[in-house]
Structure 1
């Protein structure tokens, strides 16, 4: 039978993600629209985003945090173009975005001393084979596979190379040891539910030293430049952004950060994401037609929760028909205003991807699951 209870907020997209509970447009009513982002008051709000972000995350002493153009993609590209080439590179990839960074390093930067550590969807590569005399690039959480690194124990404290971490769907939702990470990037649109277009980058003292001592062989676009005259451009990390930011987005980012502080900071954010994962995990354990795409429980993401349909009749279908059936589930629930945008990523195996980040209430995730069962019964015919 069709369920009668719907999620209060049917937003399960993996980006842009659900706004915080209780969000309305009033939250950004004080945005400094029509003002220069270089104005003293506007710059102070931009700096407030940086300071609150660093404070909630508990960044180590000497680390700097800044706002950069073009979302997480821009932040990662800035790191790759600015820092790589001084040493060999170890590229770790197990889903779409990680594979994209491999392509950029090999085909765009055309670096030759590159070692690839890759795994299929659902798995992680063998990190024991990573050479930390080289620079290492990896995603903390595979947004399109739902496979995360369980910890950073595999990263030595005395590494010679830098660790460059795309953490966009992990930061604010997972406990991360920043001392093991030299570059960390993310976007406002993920775990904190902010508006898109802006990225953030964190640099360790070791990354700053590299920037100030190494000049890449290739031309550097303006939006990637973090040094001038061989010194770090400190303004990037003090509210003076490289390009014009949206003050509406800044206000929205501030609203999310203030909410995070009000509910208890990072521990509360992580707990909310963990609660969503537990709801889904308990359901999967009791349901015979679905399973996690992540093969090992310790690697299951608590944000981009990726599931595969395992029913025999479904597995017997050609891949294109499997994809069509999975999309049918999404369409059925969208038509009922139960859940939006929870299909698997276009390059990932067909299935379901439920966003479980901190802005999603576990009660809404629980209310979604009976509807998934109903929709599955509808597509069986």
Structure 2
């Protein structure tokens, strides 16, 4: 039987052009260097990748010229032969800039190509209640300072990623973030225009997914299947399965805050009723804090989570609100875990500061409701990075983009 020929575009990949082969092999070499915890030689790269030694040498030269890798001194501990020169990721090449919006502040983070945080700063929001455009302009101001700091350290900012609450389309348009007044707002275009004097790629990503990315990197990629519960303005979940961030068909996965926990419950800003956000979101917990305590916390520049934590052990109302929030979170997380089968839940963002009071209720619900929990318990714990996870993840996603496609960076810089 002869199968009919299929037309181009019907599923078969196009023949690989020479430039595509080079781009693929550049990425292959760079990923191999990034995966090694110690400097790796050209000979070792040839063995690991199966590429010919002359090909490896040419690719390595391209990566060196692009500032993506660096040579380190030969390993003289070897007893015989000429010691090879090692290769490692550059700490003075491209860098990522992450930006984040918080309740009372803005944050900026610089991460170098090796994944090390080189700069982390915070600035009070000069216009706490303002238009989306003004917020972006305020972010651009802190970004300008961070770019100057990076340049002073010998780094070149390759891109800027903004962590935004709620679903983001095409890495640019914030579809729904009512807590900061953003509805169908093209934050990426506005930020790109505000940073027009800099040759940087600008993108916008969901903050929960970015937090999960940061926590995954912090674990040395040992966490393979986990949910990162992130909360500040909005309640979201970054989901990592088999070491990959789950983005969904349109990049909108993880909107756990809008899972229904009570069909006829409190009205939500999304238009539905009984969303988890209304019971376990930071604003819902903060509502149990007396107004005078909230004002005192704001006057002393405490974050809402810190204000809640200060009162948790001496206010029955606040403790009750935390118990309610933990129970609702546990019920929703149990349903999610039954569907996707993860082994760890990280409490991140503001929730990392409230883990002491939330963990027990969440664990109880997961233990009672997750089918497999009796055979394989789910670990629930505070995330290691915590409130800074989203802004660090935002910077890291710039680095990850360059690592996946180093040829684009090399072409862009004319190396």
Structure with max Cα Rg: 2
TM-score by length of 2: 0.29
Relative contact order, higher structure (CA 8 A, sep 6+)? 1
Q: Which one has the bigger helix percentage?
A: 2
Q: Which one has the bigger strand percentage?
A: 2
TM-score by length of 1: 0.30
